[in-house]
Amino acid sequence: MRKILLTLLVLILSSCAAMNKEAYEKKLKTWVGKSETHLVSQWGVPGSVYELNGNKFLTWTQSSSTTMPGTQPTYKTTMIYGTAHTTAIGGSSPYTINFHCKTTMTIRNNVVQAWRWEGNSCR
């Protein structure tokens, strides 16, 4: 049962990730041709700036995490020669899911020329 639920969760998250990817890329495309000043006024100050050969690379990074609770095991008690023996069955430990997004805009002559992103929570 747990494997079925985990499989369903992975499928749902995968389809959401695909939709988020398309929406995020559509949003990024709208910035090509816009000014660096306008970009920074809307996105805030980037976390890092790198310059090379007349290009400026502005990078914004976001990260977060959430902890998913574990599940309690079930218990089975059997009597063997008048003595009760209890065995834990199943259950799981809590686990942490990390989310991150790194977006870099390429600027030349104060105009956004290109973009790139990586991560699992870009939206």
Distance CA 114, CA 25 (A): 11
Which pLDDT belongs to residue 4? 56
Q: What is the pLDDT of residues 51-80, one digit of tens each?
A: 999 999 999 999 999 999 999 999 999 998
Task: Tell me what percent of the chain is helix, strand and coil, each rounded to the nearest 5.
Answer: 30, 50, 25
Which amino acid is it at 85? H
Which pLDDT belongs to residue 123? 85
Partners of 55 in beta bridges: 52, 108
Q: Could you tell me the pTM of the whole model?
A: 0.70
User: What average pLDDT values come out for the chain (123 residues) when binned by 10 residues?
Assistant: 52 53 93 97 97 96 94 92 91 93 97 96 89
Q: What are 102's two structure tokens?
A: 């790194």
